[in-house]
């Protein structure tokens, strides 16, 4: 049976969104990878499914798979696109807050307009065992050897694992190797999204992310949340931060440990399509 999908993106982080409101999506990794192929398929960083809620409290569940077919617990740019998709489907009104269940737990979304969404992303998680990251105790910074370099990282989970490295130059050639080296580092037994962040001011960051399962992306929503969480925990950024990524900007609001973190940004629809004979 042909598979109908919507192509969407959040600041250039692109998605194939599948309407699975009639039941859980069952696609093989091979089929996902075929659809993800940017030459012979549709192309996506992540595939998202919209499914019936499983927790008896949320309006819907959404599933997340990277371009390599690996699953993830959360997708910041993706959940904004799911909210915009639900609005286009007549399931969500403007200014209406609704709970969406993700593989890592519920988040709450609210459409400011048809293309701008605010998300309550919950509390950042810093305990190494919950990221997961191999470290004897919790800290706001860790030493990590990668690609022959001695790095200082912060690490946090937004429902998916993130490492955050402060750099002076986002265009440094060394980052091209460092990204994959951190993403596949053995101390992150489930892999990690590697964010490289430049501090412009306490209210303004620039960020590039080498994503687990997708590589360098134009934007990473949970990566922006993670960068702010790590730097705010260190006392180095304001409660509201603008994060510029290669594909666009996000606004992150976080008062600090014990508080919930909010992300606001765009969600764009590109086209509808049909994938044959799945
Ligand atoms: N690659 C991520 C999932 C997508 C996250 C990103 N696209 C976002 O907007 O948060 C992971 O494996 O955890």
Q: Residues marked as binding for substrate?
A: 13, 46, 66, 76-77, 160, 193, 211-212, 221-222
Q: Calculate mean pLDDT across residues 9-16.
A: 98
Q: Looking at the predicted structure, is the pLDDT value of residue 277 above 80? A: no
Tens-place pLDDT, residues 222-244? 999 999 999 999 999 999 999 99
User: How far, in Å, is the centroid of ligand 1 from the Cα of 211?
Assistant: 6
220, 241, 245, 250: which one is catalytic? 220
225 is catalytic: no
| 220 CB near ligand 1 (under 6 Å) | yes
81 is catalytic: no
18, 75, 175, 214: which one is catalytic? 75
150 half-sphere exposure, CB direction, 13 A CA radius = 1
Neighbouring CB atoms inside 10 A of 196's CB total: 23
Q: Looking at the predicted structure, is the pLDDT value of residue 133 above 80? A: yes
The token duo for 201 is: 């001011």
Domains of the chain: 3-122+266-275 (3.10.310.10), 128-259 (3.10.310.10)
Ligand 1 atom at minimal distance to the Cα of residue 209: 6
User: How far, in Å, is the centroid of ligand 1 from the Cα of 142?
Assistant: 22
Contact residues for 214 (Cβ-Cβ < 8 A; gap 6+): 45, 46, 66, 67, 68
Tens-place pLDDT, residues 162-176? 999 999 999 999 999
Which of 188, 211, 224, 227 has most ligand 1 atoms within 8 Å of its beta carbon, as the pocket-test mutant?
211
pLDDT at 1: 75
């Amino acid at each position: 049976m042909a598979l109908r999908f919507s192509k969407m993106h959040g600041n250039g982080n692109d998605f194939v969104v599948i309407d699975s409101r009639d039941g859980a999506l069952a696609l093989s990794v091979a089929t996902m990878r075929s659809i993800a192929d940017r030459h012979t398929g549709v192309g996506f960083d992540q595939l998202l499914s919209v499914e019936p809620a499983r927790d008896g409290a949320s309006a819907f569940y959404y599933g997340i798979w990277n371009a390599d077919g690996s699953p993830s617990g959360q997708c910041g740019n993706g959940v904004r696109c799911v909210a915009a998709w639900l609005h286009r489907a007549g399931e969500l009104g403007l200014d209406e807050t609704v709970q969406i269940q993700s593989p890592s737990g519920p988040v709450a979304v609210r459409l400011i307009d048809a293309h701008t969404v605010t998300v309550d992303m919950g509390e950042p998680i810093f305990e190494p065992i919950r990221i997961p990251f191999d470290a004897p105790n919790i800290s706001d910074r860790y030493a990590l050897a990668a690609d022959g370099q001695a790095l200082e990282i912060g690490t946090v989970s937004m429902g998916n694992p993130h490492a955050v490295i402060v750099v002076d130059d986002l265009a440094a050639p060394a980052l091209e190797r460092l990204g994959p080296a951190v993403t596949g580092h053995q101390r992150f037994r489930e892999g990690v999204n590697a964010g490289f962040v430049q501090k412009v001011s306490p209210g303004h960051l620039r960020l590039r992310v080498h994503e687990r399962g997708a590589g360098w992306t134009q934007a990473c929503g949970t990566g922006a949340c993670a960068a702010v969480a790590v730097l705010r925990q260190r006392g180095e950024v304001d409660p509201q931060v603008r994060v510029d990524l290669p594909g666009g900007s996000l606004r992150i609001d976080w008062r600090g440990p014990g508080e919930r973190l909010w992300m606001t940004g765009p969600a764009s629809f590109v086209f509808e399509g049909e994938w044959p004979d799945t």
